[in-house]
Structure 1
Amino acid sequence: MTELSSAKTRRTTNWSAIWILPLIALLIGGWLAWRAYAQAGIEIQIFFPSGDGIQVNKTEVIYKGMSIGKVIGMELDDQGQQRGVRVTLEMDKRVELHLRSNTRFWLVKPSVSLAGITGLETLVSGNYITASPGDGEPTRKFVALTEAPPLADSVPGLHLTLKAERLGSLNRDSPVFYKQIQVGRVKSYQLAEDQSTVEVKVFIQPEFAGLVRKHTRFWNASGVFIDAGLSGVKVRTESLTSIVAGGIAFATPEHRKDSPPTDPALPFRLYEDFDAAQAGIKVALKLADYEGVDPGRTPVMYKGVRVGTLKTIKVAEDLNSASVELTLDPRTEDYLTEGAEFWMVKPSISLAGITGLEALVKGNYIAIKPGPKGGTALRDFVARAKAPPLDVDAPGLHLVLFADNLGSLEVGSPILYRQVRVGSIQSYQFSRDRKRVVLGAHIEPEYASLVNSSTRFWNASGITLKGGISSGIEVKSESLQTLLAGGVTFETPNPKASVTRKVQRFTLHSSREAAVQEGVAIQIRVLSGDGINPGTAIRYKGIEVGKVESVELTDDLQAVLLNARIVKASGRIASVGSEFWVVKPELGLIRTANLDTLVSGQYLEVLPAPKAGKQQLYFEARKQAPSLEVREDGLRLVLSTLRRGSIKPGVLVSYREVPVGKVTDFELGPTSDRVLIHVLIEPRYAPLVRSGTRFWNASGIGVEAGLFKGVKVRTESLEALLEGGIAFATPNNPEMGGPAQPGQTFALHDEPQELWLHWAPKIALENK
């Protein structure tokens, strides 16, 4: 009987691994709940007088460019004495420490006022609420400000207090200027404790804080200051901004430049205007004529505006001059540079007329012409004996007249139209080559329309005598004024001719007969007027056929318009088909031409039309002389190539290094993928070109090198090396083909094949 073994038993546990998942889920849920609690925002309430511009879930709280909260709710609040809107915001928990009773909130939105535009960035981002942290007890309820608070004194920069008798047109954010540059602004203003003065708080930016010294003077630069009387009208303003929004200006007197830095705790006085501040710039001026000057009263004027006063005068020991001290407006400092000019203005009667008539009313005064801004600063000047010529920016028409001689003209000589004075001569000097006299002229604004491109000027000075024993003697003078002082007269035969308001140049003829000589008036448009002046000749085959009478800019300012007169062969020249170009000196390795223009100056050359045809009065000058070969006989061909290279009109076409033709023109092909080069083969050599002829670009040098065969250098000729060239070869008989036809197109290869260079067909040429 077999004995059976007993079974072994083991106790099992009730725990299962599947319980891990719920535990993990519980931990994650707990972590998320804790995270949501830790990052939950803080709700606060702000009372606004109006909810205009605030939107739920859109309007944010921005502080220094960062979002720290958002509007989550709005409701009307009609409890209490004020009615408005209570806005609920959810704030970032990180700002909890700053939510105190003195923290201020306000709405930022676009605002346009006399002081400028603020909140412009909200046009893109929308309105937002911003804050200014403060101290106090923790709170969750606030009342919004109606506008941004004044700039805090803790902001880096210079914070000052100015005391004024009255506020004027100053306002919050009104600018503070130094030499017309805004360096700060008005923070706020209020009545002083004694209510007798106004305290104006200003802020100067940190980089400009050093400009304010202990003895700096501040004055109210608001609006326009006008002081009128028999002695003249004084108008002063700091800038257009100060006219509209008010403003404050300051400066330190020059004799106080060593003034120490200011103490911000000490208030400054705000003067009523610049004169009261007495902060002018001192300038020393030497006068040769000091008659009628009065210290403290003689003004310094610029275009009728008073810019300073003569303060002191010291007469030289020889009594021939005087040194005076001027006090000028600080705004003139940038223009007291090398080139600034002063002169005395007083009534003066001369042959040229009466000047300085206004000084009869307001007394003699000193006039100033500002120097270039940014130039070398000066404080010592010598006055001119008389006024300088008018600036070209002055109202009216400014002209330049070219004359062979000055005659009896002088500065102030009249310019007459129908014996009525319409302008005057302002200046005169030699031209650059000293062969002519250049006069500056000015036409009064109301008469500027009398001058156009057809106008002709002549010297009407003195007396003109004409005639003889048999015909009698004719004595003629334009007027008594021109008889004594000299003068210029003009006529405008075509009132409808083109007009320009830029500085124009005209020829000043010696007489009316020379000015109105017969001929045909034409206009020529050139790209540049460099070297071309009234009187520049127009020539054909070395013969002068006309002249340029005036020069002006085109209306689009892209070119120059020459008003000229053709007096010889006008039927052929003022005709369709004529061509004009400017002849200039040419200097090159191969070609040197027109060297006479280095001495005589540039001129215009004309190629008349083949025959007199339809009249044409407007021409556009060519950039260069036309290819005269277009009217010559010969075989005309077209060469097609990918690129032009150095090929240009005039380049030689050679056969066996013998010139047989030349390039006349080039252009892009109809589809713009090829360049078409037009060539002319001389009639005697036309039989050399056959249907099998090959053309190649012979410009430059061809180099072939190899280890065993050495270096081979090839060039067609010295001319081809320097200026480019085209060569061709024709196959031997009978492969050459038939004669080429006029206008036939050939390919222009980049380089020849070795076989072409060995072709040597026998082709009979015509006798010369």
Structure 2
Amino acid sequence: MTDLPTAKVRPASNWSAIWVLPLIALLIGGWLGWRAYSQAGIDIEVFFESGDGLQAGKTEVMYKGMPIGKITALSLDGTRGVIATIEMEKESEPHLRANTRFWLVKPSVTLAGITGLETLVSGNYIAVSPADGEPTRKFQALSEPPPMPDDAPGLHLVLKAERLGSLNRDSPVFYRQIQVGRVKSYVLAEDQKTVEIKVFIESAYASLVRKHTRFWNASGVTVNADLSGLKVRTESLASIVAGGIAFATPENRSDSPPTDPSIPFRLYEDFDAAQAGIKITLKLSDFESLQAGRTPVLFNGIQVGTLKALKINEQDPNSATAELTLDPQGEEYLVEDTEFWVVKPSISLAGITGLEALLKGNYIAVRPGTKGKPMRRDFVARPKAPPLNIDAPGLHLVLFSDTLGSLQLGSPVLYRQLKVGTVQSYQLARDKRQVLLGVHIEQEYANLVNSSTRFWNASGVTLSGGLSGIEVKSESLQTLLAGGVAFETTDLKAPVSRKIQRFRLHTDRESAMQAGQEVRIRVDSGDGLRPGTPIRYKGLDVGEVETVELTDDLEGVILSARITQGSDRIARSGTRFWVVKPELGLIRTANLETLISGQYLQVQPGGKVGAPQTDFTALKEAPVQAAREEGLSLVLSASRLGSIKVGVPVTFREVRVGEVTGFELGSQADQVLIRVRIEPRYVPLVRGGSRFWNASGIGVDAGLFKGVKVRTESLEALISGGIAFASPEDSPPARPGQTFPLFDDAKDEWLLWTPKIPIGK
């Protein structure tokens, strides 16, 4: 029998792993309890006059956009109002003090603006502003948001006024129409006679307020009207709606020290009462309908001052001295060449000028002078508007027009219906046939004008139509009333002239934008040439001159022209231009029609074979047409030229068969060489033995017994000169370039030659 091992006996344990779970649960419960205790909110009570907009479990308490509490319950406090029980976060406990303020934020629309707009999405909430004091759990809510604290960065001032006007909390404070602050609050002063208005100026603008700064009420619109006109003043649209305050420092107080915030300022009723402008005196020779306190001072249509006083001079009743008050920001422009003049309406058959003065009454216009000169406070008004000021920044142009139309000083210059300049002067040209307009383009738009720019008169209304209908065009309402000029630039990269540019002012856009090839033609003199001078070919207009200006070296004149017909044949090398002008004389009379129509440019196209070309030099005179044709060229040798000129005829039996094409001295200067060309069909008439003689004038042969014999070739030869020739029988044909002597007279035997020579057809 096998021995079995002896069992080992151990006592049973009383601990079981199941007890671990209750221990863990106990630890978690304790931790949660401690967490709930440590993070438990703080209940406070806030009294509101009304529970409108408050909801338990929804309305939150916000501080700088972060929620720090929520209403847990609402209860009535008898008939006084509502008590809101609010659970605040634990971290807010140090700030729950007696002076801490609560108020309800909800959407509000007033004349001062719209506030609480964000509550339209998130709902009403309670705002809080922490402060000092004893710890407490009960608070009184404000009925409106508290004013800005006096310790906020910036300048805090007190203004005293006789009445509040339309000012309100948050009404803007302006400096030169820029908002630099706002109204904090206002209260009735202790004397019960004035209103104290607390104003906040932002830190960036605090230095603008000096000891002698003056504040005025810029609220709403100030209207002052009578039979002389209507005066309207406002600071901005915001001040019209919500009220506002403006301020400035008088020009004679430029060295005013910084202000003392503890000393209150007076708030004047308006700008005029504040007397914050620059005072100047102006001597006037025309002061019709000007009234103190009514007449404005305008710069480019914007009021920059007011006529404060007007006194007629005792010694000269036809003149007066005016006292003006101008905006302080224009002080630096009151220099030696600043100009003033009176603008009043003028109605005549020629048109209407000063049209705006019909509505606002006569006014004083000002044109600022150049900076850097000594400042002035006394001026003499001009009798009329000043002419073009070529020193003003920007681009100055001269436009040529046949008529002025309804254009006037100040008429706008438009580019794509945007005003970029003005008409500043106009006068008759030297020839009294055209009107010259001085135009100023503002500096920022000067690059829009170059050699490809086209100007046209955009005044009034253009009607065009037919059976299909009527088309009405007007550039703008402004040009409809006061006239205007419009322009368009087809190539913004085209070259620009360095001098004052001169352009043709077309009657309308269609004629201005007429297509064609631009060319430049240099001539020795611009006498009789002007913008609009036609360019003709075979009696038809193929283009016109657009501008006339001197060359850079002042040695010639450049004509900028546009070829509108046949430009592909004309704008090529080989093309020739020349000026056609009237010729009067015993020898030659031509182009008499130009006495009435004026001079014009004649063009002779170069053809298709030439290379494209846009710059040309005009010929000094018309080219000889025969020189370009086929024929027989000959040279005649004479002892003197006589009345022979280029173009005089060469005749055979008094029939014109050629002409003189040129002449020059011989190499030894002992003879004159005359070049002639015989027309192709008459070339066979010239033989090697031909004799040439001068057929000019009248030949007289007289004797005692034979009488008087008078001989002349023809009336044309009598007046302008001529050359005749005769050819014998049985003589060989002449060679091209052959030289013949030119006799003074014809021998009788030459006149008897009657060869039968076939000629061409």
- Taking structure 2 as the reference length, the TM-score comes to 0.50
What TM-score comes out, normalization by structure 1 length?
0.50
Q: Pick the structure with greater CA Rg.
A: 2
